[in-house]
Amino acid sequence: MHGQNQVKYTNKLHGARVLVIGGSSGLGFAVAEASLEYGALVAISSSNESRIQDAIQRLHDAYPTSKGKVYGVTADLSNLDTLEQELERILKTSKENLGGELDHVIYTAADPLAQISLNDLSAKAIVQAGTLRFTAPLLIAKHLPSYMVPSFKSSYTITTGAISEKPAPNWSIIASYAGGHHAMVRNLALDLKPIRVNGVSPGVVDTGLWRMGEQEKEEFFKACREKLMTGRVPGAEDVAESFLGCMRDWNMDAGIIRTDGGSLFM
């Protein structure tokens, strides 16, 4: 490219202030690690202080120059009575630790997947399954304008899942919330503009959310591989690339990135 049409590509994450809610493990940790690799300042939030400290140490070990560039915030997002104040405390503490308004907020926090048969559904089970996965990422949007740079360069990214588009037995609770994430992304993009709002929809990913024995897990992943066009169950570091895209593509807004190995068409 030449002349006035020439584009200068820069590292858009260098020096950016990034908060990853759910960043001590799984997808969140992979996003935090990738953000550090590109020179961002990172805050990670989790409900467990020891997991946060372990995550920070692992990040320091992988990136020795990250000391002073990564911080942790412990918060309990499981209690509806204190949820809003905990969310605002995460934002306030992260802004203070990172030295200014946040450029990007990524929400990956999740509890173990709630597979419940229709006969076992209850109002309590539905509410409990949605507190961390749905209520929290929606409620925090109320406070984002007070803690983020008001620019198209800024972004809020929500995590949904392939179950939102491809149903499976005993997944009605999670599928309902995951489907709601699509509408949440579109409406929040309008309400939070110019801050961009997008979502990432992973299929099965090899993370700690799968609470099962090693043999059971391997059998499950073997069955999954047969239903994936790629023939492999991805690691969190693969899917983290989609979150990076949401942050770095200043033209992406109100969109959902599907990263599922082609499982929707198998």
Query: What is residue 102's DSSP assignment?
Result: B
Q: At 209, is the secondary structure helix, strand, or coil?
A: coil
| Backbone Cα Rg of the chain | 18
3 within domain boundaries: no
Res. 8 pLDDT band, cuts 50 70 90? low
pLDDT at position 266 is 81
**50 CB neighbour count, 10 Å cutoff:** 10
1 within domain boundaries: no
226 within domain boundaries: yes
- Number of domains present in the structure of the chain: 1
Residue written as token pair 């620019």: 151
Structural element, H or E, at residue 36:
helix 26-37
Measured CA to CA, the distance from residue 133 to residue 138 in angstroms comes to 9
Q: What is the CATH number of the domain that holds 142?
A: 3.40.50.720
Higher-pLDDT residue of 8 and 109 is 109
Cβ-contact 45, 19 below 8 angstroms: yes
7 within domain boundaries: no
Q: What is the pLDDT of residues 206-261, one digit of tens each?
A: 886 666 677 887 888 888 999 999 999 999 999 999 999 999 999 999 999 999 99
Residue written as token pair 């802004």: 95
pLDDT at position 211 is 66
Domain containing residue 29: 12-265
**6 CB neighbour count, 10 Å cutoff:** 7
Q: At 71, is the secondary structure helix, strand, or coil?
A: strand
∠ CA 75-77-79, nearest 5°, is 120
Structural element, H or E, at residue 201:
strand 196-202
135 within domain boundaries: yes
pLDDT at position 208 is 67
174 within domain boundaries: yes
Measured CA to CA, the distance from residue 189 to residue 167 in angstroms comes to 26
111 within domain boundaries: yes
148 within domain boundaries: yes
Q: What is the pLDDT of residues 31-67, one digit of tens each?
A: 999 999 999 999 999 999 999 999 999 999 999 999 8
pLDDT at position 110 is 87
Prediction pTM value: 0.93
Cβ-contact 157, 105 below 8 angstroms: yes
